[in-house]
Amino acid sequence: MFTKRRVLGGVAATIGLIMVATTASPAGAQPESQDAPQRGVYEVRGATAAPERTAVAGSGVDVLGVRDGGMTVVASPDQARGLRASGFALEQVGDFDAMLARRSGEARAAGVNDFPPGDEAYHNYAEMTAALRAAARDYPDLARMSSVGRSYEGRELHMLKISDNVAQDEDEPEVLFTCNQHAREHLTTEMCLHIVDRFTSEYAGDPAVRQLVDSREIWIIPQVNPDGSEYDIAGGQYKGWRKNRQGRGTDPNRNWGYRWGCCGGSSGYPSSQTYRGPSPFSAPETRAVADFVGSRVVGGSQQIAAHIDFHTFSELVLWPYGYTYADTAPGMNAEQARRFQDIGRQMARTNGYTPQQSSDLYITDGSVNDWMWAEHGILSYTFEMYPRSGGIGGFYPPASVIPRETARNDDAVDILLRAAG
Ligand SMILES: [Zn+2]
């Protein structure tokens, strides 16, 4: 345990320095765009406490992963200089664009939105849609397809419901799984599709699966951000894209409506990777999912009891709140915090991830978990999937790991489904 007061003092100084570094440009100018050339991938050392990591994230760099006190970030030369001036040690481990190009291999024909050769097992939007249609067609008594709305570019935000008597709204605890809020985190789409496959194709043969499907209503949204996801693979070249495709892109996971933009855990600059948007739920994608969740309030009571939002990477199980370092806060008493911790740790024991409160990493505001819990009392977790650490390539593990890394969460998913009772 660190002494919070001393660290906070040091961080105030750090933040001050970063403010100086980023406000030196003329009035009205924005910090350097993430679209700028010559972005480097860096390991940041010296950010060993959460307030220091919040300062690093708040400087506008693109945080790729956080592990064991180290951070991997993408930074422009100006941002790297600013962080060094603030006392952080940065070691460049690669060039962002070169690493992406190396990982992508030869470009596909322009206009072909698909994964690069070798990564065909990943599902693009059309393939994801087809997989959901196939599940609904092959298991009509168990699976039903719908949409929660449309993305900014007009794509359906497909959802699959899985339950026995799927056409009826039964009085059973409901659990929601969402994936791919962040475009480049393609392994999460596979995670949601794995859940679909498991709870349909194994229903007949696996008594544990059958028991869960019979006693729960399971909602699965494999791509919350299909526009960003398709853009990220356009032309068969990975782009390291995180946000949606509205203007310069809004970070969906800073756009949720609880304590939106409150606490230095998001950015007001459209060029930033953590741009929160001009107002809460300004992103059609978060608005649509939030409206769906709101529609599950039946007779004054929210039917969805539990939720996992899948991300990559760092191998973490995270729980709210993200906007404050405190374990308890309005809407989260000690007993509720303990329940989050207990179930989070139980799940983490099964997949080997590290369990912690989200803000133990750094402050985020406008995240899905804070909103789900504060507004709807939903036991809402974030899973940061494989790999444990890495550079920009951490978002693009080889397709060969998909079966192993999705099945790795089977027991954790079952624990949450049971806890929802
Ligand atoms: Zn993410």
Q: Calculate how far, in angstroms, residue 242's C-alpha sits from the geometric centre of ligand 1.
A: 8
Which CATH number is associated with domain 125-419?
3.40.630.10
Q: Using a CB cutoff of 5 Å, list residues around ligand 1, an ion.
A: 182, 311
Beta bridge partners of 67: 70
The widest CA-to-CA distance across the chain, in whole angstroms, is 66
Helix axes 4-22, 50-58, angle to 10 degrees: 10
Confidence of residue 16 (pLDDT cuts 50, 70, 90): very low
Confidence of residue 110 (pLDDT cuts 50, 70, 90): low
CB atoms within 10 A of CB 120: 12
Give residue-wise pLDDT tens across range 368-410.
999 999 999 999 999 999 999 988 889 999 999 999 999 999 9
Break the chain into its structural domains and give their ranges: 4-31+38-104, 125-419
pLDDT at 33 over 60: no
335 or 30, which is more confident: 335
Instruction: Return all residues near 7 (Cβ < 8 A) that are at least 6 apart.
Output: 49, 51, 52
Give residue-wise pLDDT tens across range 111-120.
677 899 899 9
Give residue-wise pLDDT tens across range 82-102.
999 999 999 999 999 999 988
Backbone phi and psi for residue 267, each to the nearest 5 degrees, phi listed first: -120, 150
Q: Calculate how far, in angstroms, residue 285's C-alpha sits from the geometric centre of ligand 1.
A: 15
Q: Calculate how far, in angstroms, residue 312's C-alpha sits from the geometric centre of ligand 1.
A: 6
Tell me if 245 sits within 8 A of 153, measured CB to CB: yes
Q: Calculate how far, in angstroms, residue 33's C-alpha sits from the geometric centre of ligand 1.
A: 20
Residue with tokens 């024991």: 349
Query: For residue 72, which amino acid is it?
Result: T
Give residue-wise pLDDT tens across range 67-77.
777 899 999 99
The tokens for 147 are 């949409």
- The four Cα atoms 302, 336, 254, 32 give a dihedral, to 10 degrees, of 180
Q: Calculate how far, in angstroms, residue 261's C-alpha sits from the geometric centre of ligand 1.
A: 18
Q: Calculate how far, in angstroms, residue 65's C-alpha sits from the geometric centre of ligand 1.
A: 10
Instruction: Return all residues near 92 (Cβ < 8 A) that are at least 6 apart.
Output: 40, 41, 42, 80
Give residue-wise pLDDT tens across range 38-83.
899 999 998 989 999 999 999 989 999 987 778 999 999 999 999 9
Which of the following is catalytic: 32, 52, 384, 405? 384
Query: 169, exposed or middle or buried, with CB in 10 Å at 0-12, 13-18, 19+?
Result: middle
CATH tag for 4-31+38-104 (out of 3.40.50, 1.10.1760, 1.10.287, 3.30.70)? 3.30.70
Q: Is 405 an active-site residue?
A: no
